[in-house]
Structure 1
Amino acid sequence: MTKRKIESTDLFRLTSITDPQWDKHSRKFAFVQTTVHEEENEYRSTIYVGDLEGNAVPFTSGKGRATSPRWSPDGSKLAFVSNRNEKSQLYVMPVNGGEAEQVTFCKNGARGPVWSPCGTKLLFSTSVESAEDLHSTSSKSEEKKKPEPLVVEKMRYKSDAKGFLDNKNDHLALLDLKTKEVSLLTEGDRDYGSAAWSPDGTKIAFVANLEENPDVSLVSDVYVMDVQSKEKKKITHSNGFFSTISFSPDGQYLGFLGHEKEFQSATLTRVWVTQVATGETHCLTENLDVEVGDVAIGDFHSGNVNPGLMWTDESEGFYFLMSDQGATGIYFGSLDGSMYPIHLPDEHVYAVSMLTDTHEAIVGVSNSTDPGELYHLDFRSQTRTQLTKVNEAWKNEVELSVAEPIRYKAPDGWDLHGWIMKPAGFEEGKKYPTILEVHGGPHAMYANTYFHEFQTLTAQGFVVLFTNPRGSHGYGQEFVDAVRGDYGGKDYLDVMAAMDYALETFDFIDEKNLGITGGSYGGFMTNWVVSHTDRFKAAVTQRSISNWLSFYGVSDIGYYFSEWEVKGDMGEKVDKLWDHSPIKYVSDVNTPLLILHGEKDYRCPVEQAEQLFIALKQQGKTTKLVRFPGANHELSRSGDPALRIHRLDHIKSWFVEYLEGAK
């Protein structure tokens, strides 16, 4: 049977499986299955419950999204979040049949359910302006509100995820399932999150920035609160970013992930453990030169959950996710500081739920030719069993290109890593146009995972080359920090070295038909490349940075990111910001450049695209600007489905127009 070539609209045929949650009593697991409804142009998420024999049945039904399934301690119920009644609220439903009961009615919705150890209460997060917001799902007045000005007094007044910030804050609340009483555990003009419950039910842990001026003191501290008295004890020292908290089963230890900003935003995330009784805190992975957690870049799954430390029953060890050399896998660590890899495939382990007493896991795994399925891993017998086949029929229907790893050297001798994908219908002896992809971050990692954009381009007859230049995670602390203050320096040479290596190594690349594209930092690098070399015949820059001077004041992170990453500021180091701005060199751009940008991107605001477009047009350069209404920085990953297709089609069409040899 001849397989067909992938199209951008195959996005509507794919199924995403995320957030597996295993119940130790029944040995069943819940997970979230997300699809895109093409006609109504919306995402739909359903919670399924499956068993180790490969059976899985829907637990929820209807339109909208049901997410965050969490088993009650006795395994009899599932709490979950659903927007079936417009706003996302918490629901509880018996596992063995019955109706779902809506248990929160918060004005601004509810999320993140965490069961109390006794199973009679739910800890959750909600956005509130006052305690009244816990009980009212509608506004006080249904009348059309008159416009009001936005009064800004803080530097952090907008967010790419939330838009302009108002007087609401993210707080933790407690629901008594017997009395239905709801109460706030936190209050004030601060945000609280990453909640965890102590095994005896007397304490909760969370993260917050409670510094006097959080605009300037950019930290996220760990706190432990007594549920009855609401007295708080600070665990960390206002010098870093911490999150993803979990208590050990015996309640003696508190584990969390984070770092103390030694290299600002380029610092490796590490494992920390606090002895609850004494407050004594240690970093247990200080000598482990890998990034803890999953930092793989992809464009398919959204809603992945980092489980943090998954403790063994005896509270002496724990499992955790890590990222290394373009792969993500599972490590095991112990309180004595010993750490070792337990599952390190050349794949992307993007989700995990452990039964630590039997050393088993349910994992979500993806690779370059598989969008992702769930598997059962038994670490004792070293066996792996596939549990779902939601994308099997689609995979059998289409021609998929395998990402083949490459290793090469930078001009200064540093070891570099990447992948190359041959075009669909590849024939020996033929030469093909090639597109070099640059990831965002820059502190992220291309990985052994499915990338719909890459498959769409290979289906069009392009070779796709993608690599991890310095600044990427997965290759140690020195490597990830090396880009700071040097944007467009050795990272640029790394990107060009990838192209040089590919041309020297693979005779199927047409050196006269090369393209380059990337988003965010990858968009910056695309802009930088075309303003410093003419070797590429076409380029597409996405949600990019073109001017660090204006970025400083308009991005939701600009006022500190520019100082941390570019090492310039609006005082004595203004020239540093300008020297690293691609728009400074716009007169040297001769490559046809397509500019893609979301209208509501507050991370890299659309003015970055507008400046670049006008500067190029004014100088008679070949360019086009495509603006995506309502889209933020996450357009390619979780944005409006129809706009995601438009984005892919614009990228493809631009390269087809300017690179010869595409199909």
Structure 2
Amino acid sequence: MNHYRPLNRVYANLFVFAAQLLLVFSAASSAQDVKGSLQLEDVFEFEFASDPQISPDGRSIVYVRNYYDIMTDRRRSDLWVVGEGLSNQPFLPDAQYSDPFSPRWSPDGKKLAFVTSDASGRSQIFCYWADTGKIGRLTNLTQSPSGVAWSPDGSKIAFFMRVPDSTKPIAKLPKQPEGAKWAEGAKVIDRLVYRADGRGFLPYGYSHLFVLSADGGTPRQMTSGDFDHGGGIAWGDDSRSIVISSNRNPNRDDEPRNSELYRVSMENGKIEALTDRFGPDTNPEAGPDGSIAYLGFDDKLLGYQNTEIYLRAKDGSTKILTSGLDRSAGSPTWNPGTKTWNFTYSDRGNSKVASIDGSGRVKVLAENYGSNSNGRPYGGSGPVSVSRNGTIAFTVTGPARPGDVAIVTPEGETRILTELNADLLSARRLGEVKEIVYKSSHDGIEIQGWYITPPDFDPSRKYPLILEIHGGPFADYGDRFTAELQLMAAKGYVVLYTNPRGSTSYGEEFANFIHHNYPGNDYDDLISGVDAMIEKGFVDQNRLFVTGGSGGGVLSAWIVGKTDRFRAAVVAKPVINWYSFVLNSDNTNFYYKYWFPGFPWDDPEPYLRRSPLSLVGNVKTPTMLLTGEADLRTPISESEQFYTALKLRKIDSVMVRIPGASHGIAARPSHLMAKVAHILAWFDKYGGAEDRERIP
């Protein structure tokens, strides 16, 4: 066994090196942090609001208040209430309800349904009676419910729930002796999509529609078959039917986006298709006079397409409301007070709440929509809710606001009702966030971005720069809260984050500049941003660093294969080899047809040409690979390929593996801290800390 010792010694040296880096990082932080600057452990202190549900009379809003438990290293939640004559206060009377979510008012406002775990840990639907303050359990489910929705008459509650299924075994083993402890049985897989990031191996079964009496009891299953049903619940005006979304097509595995709307009769369970086109039809919302608004588009197999709001009249006629917007729309909700549809969309990195009438006229009602946890400054998501008088409840974010509850009054006034992080942020100095707009060197198109300066910023000094690149790639950054990037700025770095071509919120054409061309000229957009920052005079052009995660990891790896101007790089959860990725990712039925012209074995050239692995022979930059070991979106085997290639070429490199972390590394606070600490330790090692006081 002596031949294994040199390999073990290499691994031991790597672990010692990583530990030394973290010790240096901690010591430097203690000596150099400006008093009151953001600290790694502060990630446990941030809170944010989500899913605000305004009562029908508009007087109170129940919302999910999210926080982090430092002892369990987990995100937790409670229901809180705020509103007219109410200070911000807990909604539930005690702590017996574990991590409640999905609060939904009955149409008369006398009840509130919500989901929480019972004593066995299974999720159940509970109900709060406003007149008595009593809370009762309505269900005894074996699976978790989702999409809870009251019928218009308040007599029923609809929801989705997975119905387990099983497969017949291929082989039969002899019965094990009594008391024997054999190994776990073999997993037999016969599905194209059999695992999902953050969930692992998918259990057999399908999501179906159920209807429950508002008084509780046994729910009635309304759909059947080997199909998943979901995407929102829209009750008919008479409470006798429900519109849902499902991909019930025979070739649904090969056409994952091709869902339709279906009307389900409460009387006999009959299912009627309401749409029939190639593309997604989802998120139905009931409107006046039997109309239905929903989201979708005609699928052209492009990397990105705008999601439109469609309006289907009672007679079956359909029109697109948002055809003139050239932005993706979300969360359509009928506003009875203004007789318009409310919805959300993002424009130039800022998410908005808006209204649209039947002729397609759009009016922006509020900006800075969204709620961010501890990660990066991505766009907002989640529902808005509307009262009978037209008051809209939503969440609001900003550079110094993770996520609070706000309203838009019928008169158009925006009011922020909570300040969930006022206590923490009053004792912390965040870096200032500023916008930057510049031209790409490739073709002169305008690129928008932002940069964060250190809390003690002095424009006469020279600072190291971190270029931080968003994932997606069809996503956008904006002037939103970001703990990760603020932590980098707190350690003396200027942090640049931009929306290169391919980003959303700039129109469909801008996003599809990278269709079948990613990575490509987005590289020029990013490098032009670095040059624009250097021109400002306070960036040290000899201390440039680059990092990014997922799609940003792809571009970080691509950049170090194209230039050596960066002192060091951290490539987080990347795709390195597109050929292996499309066959190993959890969405394997999607990427080969939307991001590439076909199967890799039929035309391997674009897969290799666009793979960072093809440029590894050019890399000179010291590079860290950082990925979660449970990542099923960009599996760690991608990082391992790049790491091995760099080591074979004798390039200074290290691989950081986050045990138990899926693609969203920041889902657990300690994982986020580990990510940021390793990034900064690596950059400090290669010159990022040159102007800080040296630790003896």
TM over 0.5: yes
Q: 1:259 aligns with which of 277, 297, 318?
A: 297
Match of residue 626 from structure 2: 596
Question: CA 1:610–1:99 in structure 2 vs 1: closer, same or farther (change >3 Å)?
Answer: farther
Among 39, 44, 48, the residue aligned to 1:12: 44
CA distances 1:140-161 after superposition (whole Å, capped 9, x unpaired): xxx9996332222222122114
SS of the counterpart of 1:55? strand
Range with bigger deviation, 30-39 or 52-61: 52-61
Deviation larger for 182-191 or 13-22:
182-191
| Inter-partner Cα distance in structure 2 for 1:343 and 1:19 | 17
User: How far, CA to CA, are the matches of 1:389 and 1:16 in structure 2?
Assistant: 9
1:71 to 105, 108, 115: 105
Aligned to 2:637: 607
Q: Report what 2:311 is aligned to.
A: 273
Please tell me whether the aligned partners of residues 76 and 99 of structure 2 are also in contact (alpha carbons under 8 angstroms). yes
- 1:42 corresponds to which of 74, 81, 88: 74
Q: Structure 1 106/658 Cα, relative in aligned 2: closer, same or farther at 3 Å?
A: same
Partner of 1:164: 201
Give 3-state SS (helix, strand or coil) of 2:98's partner: coil
**Equivalent residue in structure 2 for 1:370, among 401, 404, 409:** 401
CA pair 495-153 structure 1, distance change in 2 beyond 3 A: same
Q: Between Structure 1 and Structure 2, whose CA radius of gyration is higher?
A: 2
**Residues 494 and 428 of structure 1: is their aligned pair in 2 closer, same or farther, counting only changes over 3 Å?**
closer
- Tell whether 2:360 aligns with 1:337: yes
* 3-state DSSP of counterpart to 1:563: helix
8 A Cα contact 2:310 2:318, kept in partner:
yes
Q: Are residues 532 and 232 of structure 1, via their aligned partners in 2, closer, same or farther at CA, if it must alter by over 3 Å?
A: same
CA distance in 1, matches of 2:339, 2:262: 22
TM-aligned CA distance change 1:283 to 1:39, over 3 Å = same
Aligned length: 631
Q: Give the Cα separation in 2 of the matches to 1:104 and 1:235.
A: 31
Superposed, 1:75-224 pairs within 5 Å as: 75-85=109-119, 86-129=121-164, 147-178=184-215, 180-193=217-230, 194-218=232-256, 219-224=258-263
Deviations 1:53-89 (A, max 9, x none): 4612212342731111111122122111112531222
Alignment partner, residue 322 of structure 1: 345
Q: Is 1:498 matched up with 2:529?
A: yes
Contact 1:555 1:604 (8 Å CA) reproduced: yes
Provide closer, same or farther for how the CA distance between residues 7 and 568 of structure 1 changes in structure 2, counting only shifts above 3 A.
farther
TM-score (norm 2): 0.87
- Which segment is superposed worse, 182-191 or 340-349? 340-349
Cα deviations by residue, 1:414-445 (Å, 9 ceiling, x for unpaired): 11100111112111311000101110111111
CA separation of 1:446 and 1:65: change in aligned 2, threshold 3 A? same
Structure 2: distance between partners of 1:76 and 1:349 = 30
Q: Distance in 2 between matches of 1:263 and 1:342?
A: 33
Once residues 363 and 98 of structure 1 are traced to their aligned partners in structure 2, the CA distance between those partners, rounded to angstroms, is 25
- SS of aligned partner of 1:186: coil
- Residue equivalent to 1:134: none
For residue 177 of structure 1, report the CA deviation from its aligned partner: 3.2
Structure 1: any 5+ residue segments left out of the alignment?
Answer: 132-142, 294-307
Q: Deviations over 1:487-519 (max 9, x none)?
A: 121111111111111112x11101011111111
Q: CA RMSD in A?
A: 2.2
Q: Deviations over 1:103-158 (max 9, x none)?
A: 22222222321112222221112111269xxxxxxxxxxx9996332222222122
- For 1:560, the aligned partner's letter is F
Change (3 A) 1:646 1:222: same
**Contact preservation (8 Å) 1:235, 1:274:** no
What letter corresponds to residue 683 of structure 2 in structure 1? Answer: F
Aligned match of 1:298 = none
- SS of residue paired to 1:397: coil
Aligned to 2:418: 388
What is the CA–CA distance in structure 2 between the aligned matches of 1:73 and 1:568, rounded to whole Å? 49
Matched AA of 2:521? K
Q: Secondary structure at the match of 1:173?
A: strand
C-alpha displacement of 1:559 = 4.2
Contact 2:52 2:385 in 1 (8 A): no
- CA, structure 1 residues 389+464, in 2 after alignment: closer, same or farther (shift >3 Å)? same
| 1:113 partner amino acid | V
Residue-by-residue CA offset, 1:243-269 (whole Å, 9 max, x unaligned): 22101043x211011212235340011
**Residue equivalent to 2:491:** 460
| Partner-residue secondary structure (3-state), 1:264 | coil
Task: Report matched runs for 1:230-245 at 5 Å.
Answer: 230-245=269-284
- Which runs of no fewer than 5 residues in structure 2 stay unpaired? 1-33, 167-179, 371-378
Identity across matched positions, percent: 30
Aligned with 1:30: secondary structure?
Answer: strand
- The residue that corresponds to 2:456 in the other structure is 425
Alignment partners' CA distance in 2, 1:630 and 1:393: 32
1:226 to 2:258 alignment = no
The aligned counterpart of 2:549 is 519
Which amino acid letter does the alignment assign opposite residue 108 of structure 1? Q
- Of structures 1 and 2, the one with the larger relative CO (CA 8 A, separation 6+) is 2
CA contact (8 A) 2:608 2:614 kept: yes
